[in-house]
Chains A and B, each alone.
Chain A
Amino acid sequence: MKVHQIVTSLTYGDAISNETLAIKKFLNEEGIESEIYGYYHHPKLSKYFNHYSSFLSQSSKDDILIFHFSIGSPVSKTYFQAKEKKIMIYHNITPYKFFENYHRILAKECYKGRLELEKFVNKTDLGLGDSEYNRLELEELGFKKTGVLPIVMDFAKFDRDGSKIIKSLYGDDKFNILFVGRVIPNKKIDELVKLFAIYQKYYNPNSRLIIAGEYRGFERYLSDIYQIIGKYQVKDVILTGHISFNDLVAFYKIADLYISLSEHEGFGVPLLEAFYNKIPVIGYDAGAVKETMNGGGIIIKEKNFGKLGALMEEIRTDNILKDKIIMGQNKALEKYSYENIKKILLNHINNLKEI
C-alpha cells in the first residue's frame, strides 16, 4: 500500500508544507511509500515534489491519497478523479464576516471556500481536522467519517539564538508583550492595542507591545489600529510587518508575555511556539484556542481589559506564578510530540485501510 499526498503548493516554512513533509517522513519511517504531488513548489523542495498532472496515470484503488484542503485549488479535480481511498485534511477557513468591512475580495473567497468544501463531502472517505473544533465543522457539513490530526510542530527550529539586532533593539528592561500572527480582523489586534493602552496607562508604563506579522493588504484595518494608537497616545507599539524567521526567533526570546485575543483560530501554532519558548500565555477562549493550549497557559472567558491588565501585572510581578504557568505549558506540549502525532496518523491510516 502507498500513501500519497496532494497539496496546492509546497513552499518553504509554512505550516501546511511542514506538515506535508512531516507526514511523508512518518510514512517513510514505517516503510510506506509516499510521494508529494502539487501545483507549485519552492525550488529548495524540488526533490520532494511531483507535478499533480502525473498523478492520475498511477492512481490505484489499493492506495490512500491525502489532500490538504485550500480554497480554489486547481488540484481538487485530480483529487476527485483519483481511485484511492481519500483523506482530506482541513485547516479551517476564517468566517467571511470578519473580512466584510475590510477586504471584500477575501470575504468573497472565504464564503466561496465554505461552499467548495461541501463538494468534498461525498468524495472523501475520512475528513481530518487539525483540531476538534475543525473536526466538528466537517461533521456539521456532513462528512460521514471524521477525525483529528494535530498539526505537526517542528519546535527544534527554535533551538537557536535568533537575530542579535532584534535582541539589542528590544531586549531591554521593558516588559515585552508579544502577539504573532497576521494583522487581520479576526485576530482582534485592535483589542490587543486597547488592552495594552490600559495596561501601559494604569499598570506598567515601562512596557512594549510587539505585533509580529504581515499587514500588507489590510491597510484599512491597519488604519483602525493607528486610530486607536493616536487617540490614546499609546507608546511602544511595534508593528513589525513581515519578518524573517531569525527575527521571529529573537522576538520569542525577548518576550515576557504572549497574549491572544483572537476570535477565530482553527488551531493556533504561535500559542504552542510561545509555550515552547517558555513565555507565559494568556489566550481568549475562541475557536480552537483552548483546545490547542491543552490545559496550559491561562484561558480568559471574557474580554474585561481592566481585570486582564491586573492579571498581566500579576504574571509580571509574581515569578512563582510565572513558573507554574510555564510548567503547565511544558506539560501541555507533550500532546504535540512527534511520536504522538505519528501514532495518531498511522491509526487513521490503518482504520481507513480496513474499510
Chain B
Amino acid sequence: MEEKWLEASDINVEEIMKKIRERVEDKKKKGIYKEEEIKDIENVELFPLPDILDVPVVYSPEDLERGFEKIKELSNVKLIELEKPPQSKLKIKIRNFMIKIRNKIFPLLNFISFFTLSELYASVDLNKEKINILVDKNSEVLNLYKEHLKILHNYIHHITTEITKLKIENDELKVRLKEIENKLGFLEDRERTLEKETIEKE
C-alpha cells in the first residue's frame, strides 16, 4: 500500500519508504510528533473572503427616486374617519355602570346569547360593512402606506448591501495592506543588503 505512495525511477523506493517510516516512528516515540496535530493542520478548512459579485443590487436609484416622490405625497394626505355621534358625560357614566353589571351577570348573558346568536351575527355583519366603507374611503391613504413600506424595505436593503460591500472591501484592503507590508519588508531587507555591499566595496 505504502509503496504506491511514492514513485521514483533512479532510487530505491523501498529503502526510502523504510527510512521515512523510521523517522516518523522515531518522532512519535519521542513524543514530538502527534498524528492528530498533523491531521489538524492537513484538514484545516479555508474560509475564502466573500465575493463582492455575490452581493446583488436589486433596486435601482430610479426606484428610490420614485419612492421619495410618494413619501412627499403621503405627507399631504389625511385619514378620513367615520362620523361619531357626540356622547355626553352622563351617558358615559351610565355606560360604564352598565358594563360593570354586564360583567357580573356575564355567565347568564352567555347562556341567553346562546339562543340569540343570529342577532349577534347580524351585528358582526353590520360592523364588517362599516369597516369596508372605512377601507374604501381610505384606500388612497392605505395605498400610500403600502408604498411607504416598500420604500422602507428598499432603504434597509440598500443599507445592508452597502454595509456588506464595505465589509468585503475592508477585508480585501487588509489583505492588500499585508501584501504591501511584505513588499516593504522585502525592500527594506534589499536596501540593507545593498548598503552593506556598497560599504564593503568602499
A160 at the interface (CB under 8 A from B): no
Residue pair A222, B179 in contact (C-beta under 8 Å) = yes
Judge whether B38 and A311 touch: CB under 8 Å. no
Chain A residues within an 8 Å CB radius of B171:
223
Contact in complex: B24, A298 (CB < 8 Å): no
**Is B108 on the interface with A (CB-CB < 8 A)?**
no
Cβ contacts under 8 Å, A202 to chain B: 27, 32-33, 38
Enumerate chain B residues within 8 angstroms of A318, measured Cβ to Cβ. Answer: 19
CB-based contact B38/A325 at 8 Å: no
Residues of B within 8 Å of A302, CB to CB, are: 4-5
User: How would residues 233 to 271 of chain A score, 1 for a CB under 8 Å from any chain B CB and 0 otherwise?
Assistant: 000001111000000000000000000000000000000
Of all chain B residues, the one with the shortest Cβ separation from A306 is: B38
**Do A301 and B53 form a contact, CB below 8 Å, given A221-B48, A227-B47, A328-B10?**
no
Query: Is B98 interfacial (CB 8 A cutoff)?
Result: no
Inter-subunit contact A295/B46 (CB<8 Å): no
Contact A102 B179 (CB under 8 A): no
In chain A, positions 267-296 with a C-beta closer than 8 Å to chain B are: 285, 290, 295-296
Assuming A301-B7, A307-B5, A311-B16, is B189 touching A169 (CB within 8 A)? yes
Q: Which of B1-57 contact A (CB under 8 A)?
A: 4-11, 16, 19-20, 23-24, 27, 32-33, 35, 38, 41-42, 44, 46-49, 51, 53
Count contacts on B: residues with CB < 8 A to the other chain.
43
Whether A297 and B38, one on each chain, are in contact in the complex, defined by CB atoms closer than 8 angstroms, is no
A304, B39: Cα distance in complex, Å:
9
Contact A313 B23 (CB under 8 A): yes
Contacts of A327 in B (CB 8 A): 10
- Is B137's CB within 8 Å of the partner chain A? no
Given A300-B6, A310-B23, A324 contacting B51 (CB threshold 8 A): no
- The residue that A301 contacts in the complex, of B5, B172, B178, with Cβ under 8 A, is B5
Residue pair A307, B20 in contact (C-beta under 8 Å): yes
In this assembly, does A165 line the interface, its C-beta being within 8 Å of a C-beta of chain B? yes
Query: Shortest Cβ distance from B199 into chain A, in angstroms?
Result: 13
Q: Residue B193 contacts which of A101, A168, A290, A300 (CB distance < 8 angstroms)?
A: A168
A220 touches B51 (CB 8 A): yes
Give the number of residue pairs across the A-B interface with Cβ within 8 Å: 126
In B181-202, the 8 Å CB interface with A consists of: 182-183, 186, 189-190, 193-194, 196-197
Instruction: Find chain B residues with CB under 8 A from A228 CB.
Output: 44, 46
Least CB distance from A43 to B in Å reads 28
Query: Within the assembled complex, what's the spacing in Å between the Cα atoms of A106 and B23?
Result: 43
Q: How far is the CA of A220 from the CA of B171 in the complex (A)?
A: 9
Q: How many angstroms between the C-alpha atoms of A314 and B17 in the bound complex?
A: 10
- Please report the C-alpha to C-alpha distance between residue A313 and residue B21 in the assembled complex, in whole angstroms: 12
Is A168 a contact of B16 with CB atoms below 8 Å?
no
A239: chain B residues at CB < 8 Å are 179, 182
Query: What is the bound-complex CA distance between A307 and B22, given in angstroms?
Result: 10
B49 with A165: CB separation less than 8 A:
no
**Is A104 a contact of B175 with CB atoms below 8 Å?**
no
B48 in contact with A224 (CB, 8 Å):
yes
Report yes or no: B51 in contact with A301, Cβ–Cβ below 8 A.
no
- Determine which of B42, B44, B179, B186 lies in contact with A215 in the assembled complex, contact meaning CB atoms within 8 Å: B179
Contacts of B172 in A (CB 8 A): 219-220, 223
Residues of B within 8 A of A346 (CB): none
Tell me the smallest distance from the CB of B190 to a CB of chain A, in Å: 5
Task: Indicate if the CB atoms of B175 and A223 lie closer than 8 Å.
Answer: yes
**29 interchain pairs, CB-CB under 8 A:** A104-B51, A194-B42, A194-B44, A198-B41, A202-B33, A215-B179, A221-B48, A222-B175, A224-B47, A231-B44, A232-B41, A290-B7, A295-B9, A295-B10, A297-B8, A298-B6, A299-B6, A301-B7, A302-B5, A305-B38, A305-B41, A306-B38, A310-B19, A310-B23, A313-B23, A314-B16, A324-B11, A325-B11, A328-B11
Q: Please give the residue numbers on chain A whose beta carbons come within 8 Å of chain B beta carbons, in ascending order.
A: 101-102, 104-105, 164-165, 168-169, 190, 194, 197-198, 202, 215, 219-224, 226-228, 231-232, 238-241, 285, 290, 295-307, 310-311, 313-314, 318, 321, 324-325, 327-328, 331
The 3 A-B pairs with the shortest beta carbon distances in the complex, nearest first, are A328-B10, A310-B23, A299-B7
